Structure 1
Amino acid sequence: MLNRRQFALSSLSAASVSITGPAWAQGTDSFPSKPVTIVIPYAAGGLTDIIGRAISPRLADKWGKPVLIDNKPGGGTTIGTGFVSRAPGDGYTLLLTAFGYIGNQLMLPKLPYDVKALTPLTNTSDSPSVLYISPRLPVKTLAEFVAYGKANPGKISFASSGNGSSPHIAAEMFAGMAGIEIIHVPYRGNGPAITDLVGGQVDALFDSPATMSYVPTGRLRVLGHGYANNNPRLPGVVPISKSGVPGLEKFEAGGWFGFFLPSSTPEALQQRLYTDIRAVLEMPATQEALSKAGVDPRLMTRTEFAAYLQHELDRWGPVIRGRNIRAD
């Protein structure tokens, strides 16, 4: 979602993470002895699910045991996330989630689980939020889009995959920085939102690079993306922050996808899981599969990932509170 270099902790390496308890250190050699489950708190077919299904068979090959995907959608990801937070810390139940992990902490007055019961393991990938618009709008550039929004306050409709979703929050941040008023139109998932955007029922949407497939045919226009720097998978698409449009100089938005596990998991087993998952994520075949899914493979150490998540909380908190964003 952001430039990860600011989170790089050059003195940290995987080997620097301490292993405690000789019994557990020896016990990890036989892990796993039964199937491992990756819980995804989103519906099947979504981007997080696609990422999980790209990783799971390669983990299964490495471990010699089945790695199952268990979709537990609902409650704005709180159902699946809460399930893992209460799972035994034995390494057999992992969580693969995305922005909902951050958003729920900022939007829900009381979480139905203890966030401290979960420990960040590693991220897998991220993806810039790309601004797509309907070609029925009389604009072709980002500057024209913002000017149109200022001339027509409250008339531009932004679709999203739901209240409190990352596309919703990206749209609200964009509107606030650009100084325009928008109408938010929440959908139950990206699929219906894209369908209506292509059909002209809504005007704009922040989505992943996968939706670029609609641009060459003229069914959608693309105005910019939320990475700080150019993205080789988005040739000719300028970062919104470098568009020259006043107010948007610091705009950055996108999605991330990462693994968590119960905090009660012994340190030696946490490190074993991190090492094995990272090895799979570093495989060229895995990285190719993630790229095809529309995300950029991105790896962090355990400490870097934890620091990044804290930065996300600090960064999005003012946006969510200032724009009075609420979850479904």
Structure 2
Amino acid sequence: MRTMLSTFLALLIDRPASHFWRRAAATALWAVAALATLPAAAQTPPFPGGPVTLIVPYAAGGLTDNLARALGQRLAERWGQPVIVDNRAGGGTVIGTAAAARAPADGKTLLVTSFGFTTNPFMMSHLPYKQSALEPLAMIAVAPAILFVHPSVPADDVPSLVKYIRTSGKPFSFASSGNGSSPHIGAELFASQIGVSIVHVPYKGNGPGLNDLIGGQVQGMFDSKAALAFVKAGKLKALGISSLKPSTLAPDLKPIAQSGVPELANFATASWFGVLVPEGTPKPIQSRLHADIRAVLDTPDMREAIDRAGVEPLPMTQAEFAAYLKSEAERWGPVIRDKNIRAD
């Protein structure tokens, strides 16, 4: 393009014309030549203008980390720039979340996080960051939980389980992946809505809790679709899923909210996975980041990665994601306070 413009301007100079036009053409030609000699570093780099870091407040290899890596890989391909996943596990997600809250608000540091972001303020009295220090950017996916019980429990659906828990005269035990975890708070919400108390048995992760459920040491647990393999083997029973509507994760399972138990008509619990940015990140940058993340989430290979992870994509606008997080806080705050739940 510069060559064509130079040729045109040279012809213009050679044409009989006024002194004014010859000088104007010569000035324009000089400007084009000067632009061509600018070093590459002086030219504006493509968005986002450098490497981007995805802070994940969980250990490598977990569900949130896997989703972050799948997202990061595809964003790097879209931007043509590095996207680095930085695992900052510890403190019940506090360490990584605090690091993201302190990061520059320039769009080059994002937080990929989950359920604990909305519940930690109710379970921890002194957080090293303000909740408002991070702004909702984009929802990635959700994972409603499945209600599993040991085969010895005399219930084959949610109504019969509720009746058994209410009338057995014995405490019903729920396993979870730890105090304050999504399975723990979900079980407490379930118990609260049907008006009973449960025995909560926390474990260090889902795996140990699931093993004891299979072994009959505990009676129930909210867990992911991966545990459905034990239902097929006859080692567990699946009674319902914790979404308000039927879920593609387990289409044969009726939502607990539609089980016919009036007290559970609004029962829902799910782990969510989303992206946040430091407060004050310019709105045009947020809009571009959101658009690029949504575009990546809509690609077939990213949808395949989400499906492999056992979660459901849940596209949202930024405003919808912010409203969702607000509703999560309103849902879980009273349960956490009422049961005096504290994180490990």
Q: Partners of 1:214 and 1:54 in 2: how far apart?
A: 28
Which residue is 1:281 aligned to?
A: 297
1:156 offset after TM fit, Å? 1.7
Distance across 2 between alignment mates of 1:280 and 1:121: 14
Residues in 2 aligned to 1:29 and 1:305: alpha-carbon distance in whole angstroms = 30
Query: What is the SS of the residue equivalent to 2:200?
Result: strand
Structure 2 equivalent of residue 164 of structure 1: 180
Deviations 1:190-246 (A, max 9, x none): 222222222322211112223222211112110111111112331321111111124
- In the other structure, the counterpart of 1:244 is 260
Say whether 1:147 aligns with 2:163: yes
Matched, 1:111 2:111: no
For the residue of structure 1 that corresponds to 2:334, the secondary structure is: helix
Shifted more, 275-284 versus 47-56: the winner is 47-56
- Confirm or deny that 1:102 pairs with 2:102: no
Unaligned runs of 5+ in 1: 1-26
Q: State the Cα RMSD in Å.
A: 1.8
1:184 aligns with 2:184: no
- Cα 1:58–1:135 shift into 2, 3 Å: same
Distance in 1, Cα, partners of 2:121 & 2:315: 23
Q: Which has the higher helix share?
A: 2
Deviation sequence 1:290-309 (CA, Å, 0-9, x none): 01211101111111111111
Distance 1:28 1:226, change over 3 A: farther
Percent identical: 51
Change (3 A) 1:283 1:67: same
- The correspondence for 1:65, drawn from 54, 62, 81, is 81
Q: Distance in 2 between matches of 1:148 and 1:32?
A: 57
Q: How far apart are the structure 2 equivalents of 1:44 and 1:135?
A: 34
2:151 alignment counterpart? 135
Whether 1:268 aligns to 2:280 is no
Q: How far 1:111 moved relative to its partner? A: 1.6
The answer to whether the 8 Å contact 1:153/1:180 transfers is: no
Deviation at 1:113, TM superposition (A): 0.7
The superposition leaves residues 226-283 of structure 1 with CA deviations (integer Å, 9 ceiling, x where unpaired) of: 1111123313211111111242122111111100011132222212211111110111
Specify the SS of the correspondent of 1:255. Answer: strand
Once residues 233 and 113 of structure 1 are traced to their aligned partners in structure 2, the CA distance between those partners, rounded to angstroms, is: 35
CA contact (8 A) 2:56 2:85 kept: yes
Which whole-Å CA distance do the structure 1 matches of 2:52 and 2:207 have between them? 30
CA gap 1:28/1:175 in 2 versus in 1, 3 angstroms: farther
8 Å contact kept, 1:154–1:183:
no
Distance change >3 Å, CA 44–CA 154, structure 1 → 2:
farther
Aligned to 2:247: 231
Q: 2:320, 2:45 → 1: CA distance?
A: 26
**Partner SS state of residue 106, structure 2:** coil
Aligned counterparts of 1:54 and 1:296: Cα–Cα separation in 2: 15
CA distance in 1, matches of 2:245, 2:216: 30
Matched, 1:85 2:101: yes
| Conservation of the 8 A alpha-carbon contact between 1:41 and 1:77 | yes
Match for 1:36 among 52, 60, 68? Answer: 52
Given that 1:133 and 1:222 are in contact with CA atoms closer than 8 Å, whether structure 2 keeps it comes out as yes
Q: How many residues align?
A: 302
TM-score, normalized by length of structure 1? 0.87
Unaligned 5+ segments in structure 2 are 1-42
The aligned amino acid for 1:93 is: T
CA contact (8 A) 2:144 2:271 kept: yes
CA contact (8 A) 1:99 1:255 kept: yes
Cα deviation, 1:3-52, whole Å, max 9, x if unaligned, reads xxxxxxxxxxxxxxxxxxxxxxxx99623343322111112222211211
| Structure 2 CA distance for partners of 1:312 and 1:29, relative to 1, 3 Å | farther
Measured after TM superposition, the shift of residue 133 of structure 1 is: 1.2
Question: Following the alignment from structure 1 to structure 2, what is the Cα–Cα distance between the partners of residues 137 and 160?
Answer: 18
What is the aligned counterpart of 1:125 among 141, 148, 152? 141
- The alignment partner of 1:34 has SS state of coil
Residue 238 of structure 2 corresponds to residue 222 of structure 1: yes
What SS does structure 1 have at the residue aligned with 2:61?
coil
8 Å CA contact 1:28, 1:268 repeated in 2: no
- Higher radius of gyration, 1 or 2: 2
Instruction: Report SS of the residue matched to 2:179.
Output: coil
Which amino acid in structure 1 is aligned with residue 119 of structure 2? G
Residues 215, 222 of structure 1: 8 Å contact kept = yes
Q: Label 1:285 to 1:119 Cα distance change in 2 as closer, same or farther (>3 A).
A: same
1:14 maps to none
